[in-house]
Amino acid sequence: MTGADAGRALSWTLFVQLIGRDIRSRFIGSASGWLWLLVTPLLLLAVYGFVFGVIFSARVPAGLDVPFIAWLAAALWPWLAFSEGVLRGAQAIRQHASLISKVALPRHLLVAASTTAVFLLHLVGYLLVLLVLAGLLGVPLRPGGILSLLFALVTLYLFALGLGLGLGALQVYLRDLEQFVPTFFLFWFFMTPILYPPDMLPATMARWMAINPMSNWMEVIRAGLFHGQLVPGMGDALVMGGAALFAVACGGWLFARLSPYFEDFL
């Protein structure tokens, strides 16, 4: 094994250990931590389903014969994984300030481990909810769309990772971002067609839908699950893949430029 191979193997081992450490830290001292991992999104699903499905009478797009609550759940879990993955990744450097000052390690692994742990945990809950909805509500999930779903989830993970790297580096220097980013993500959530179909928005908002890449992810995920779309359309694939690669490239570059000076500001 060459030195480069040994270094990659060591980094991979450290990465897996950091993921396990991040997951364990979320449940230390909590006897029901795993339960709340599923209950909290379910409560959000119930609240949003009642407010938008009952009070505001939101409906699934025309031609789709599935309950609104199932249509909502299909996109809500990926959004929760994305938003929490970015936010925890952005906080990883500051949260591990003492570790950075004492141990020489690839610092980007701290961000990557936090984001990866979030996606793994939410993926478990996502699969459970889909199975429950299919069983209780008789929702006809289409196994033929598994490739579309996998493509969407993998590119969404890379998009979150890139944003986490960039924001994680910037938050070391710009502390105000810690307050701004969650607020922006709340705005982004309500401006993405997760709680409502796109045709409920006024025509003046169509331009926002065109520049909001999360709209493509929601559409592809639902098309794969409910329509059995084998692969994403060319336009959706280019937007999602391009956004993911751009975020990873820019976030990685920014992190590499700023990370050598972290100790001076932590």
Q: What is the pLDDT of residues 179-224, one digit of tens each?
A: 999 999 999 999 999 998 887 777 777 777 778 999 999 999 999 9
Contact present, 162 and 244 (Cβ < 8 Å)? yes
Could you give the percent of the chain with pLDDT greater than 70? 92
Per-residue pLDDT tens digits for 101-158: 777 788 999 999 999 999 999 998 888 888 777 777 777 777 788 899 999 999 999 9
Please give the structure tokens belonging to residue 84: 């929490």
Name the token pair of 40: 């909290």
pLDDT at 7: 57
Mean pLDDT confidence for 229-233: 86
Which phi and psi (to 5°) does residue 138 adopt? 70, 30
Task: Provide the pLDDT for residue 162.
Answer: 97
pTM recorded for the entire structure: 0.92
**Is the pLDDT assigned to residue 71 strictly greater than 60?**
yes
pLDDT band per the 50, 70, 90 thresholds, residue 2? low
- The CB-based long-range contact list for 192-197 (8 Å cut-off, 24+ gap) reads 192/79, 192/218, 193/75, 193/218, 193/219, 194/72, 194/75, 194/76, 194/79, 194/218, 195/48, 195/52, 195/58, 195/72, 196/52, 196/56, 196/58, 197/58, 197/59, 197/60, 197/61
Give me the pLDDT at residue 204, please: 76
pLDDT value for 141:
78
Whole-number average pLDDT of the chain: 86
